[in-house]
Structure 1
Amino acid sequence: MGISEELGDVMFTLVNLCRHYDIEPEDIIRRSNLKFETRFRKMETSSKNQGKKWKN
């Protein structure tokens, strides 16, 4: 099995776990994305305030 198949199994299991706990998977991924974006923006601001520049 390739890694993509294994990750598919993990995702399938997580979605079913959400269903068991009556949680909408889309809602939790949306909140997680917002949390990541907020943290990333704070890092950008902190770096800018310290005179540092981002590199790709």
Structure 2
Amino acid sequence: MRQQVAVAPGWQRQQQYITGVLYPRSALTEVRVLVVICVVVSWVGQYLLSRRRTVTPGS
């Protein structure tokens, strides 16, 4: 069963403004994919950096 998600007041208005101003509405899917790629790359980068810091010399 799906539950309603509480939306902050004014969020819908801000989302519509951003979609129409920062990128065209026709590019919505591409923008979403680009954001997901950026998030995944940043997580992988953070994981690799944290792994490199925890390795002790000589192991």
Q: Which consecutive residues of structure 1, in runs of 5 or more, have no partner in the other structure?
A: none
Query: Which has more radius of gyration?
Result: 2
Count the aligned residue pairs: 48
Mapping for residues 4-23 of structure 1, pairs under 5 Å: 4-17=8-21, 18-19=23-24, 23=26
Asked whether 1:37 is paired with 2:28, we answer no
Deviation at 1:23, TM superposition (A): 4.7
The residue type equivalent to 2:8 in the other structure is: S
- How many angstroms apart in 1 are the aligned matches of 2:26 and 2:32? 11
Cα RMSD, aligned residues only: 2.2
Q: Percent identity?
A: 2
Higher helix share: 1
Tell me the TM-score normalized by structure 1. Answer: 0.64
TM-score computed with the length of structure 2 as normaliser: 0.62
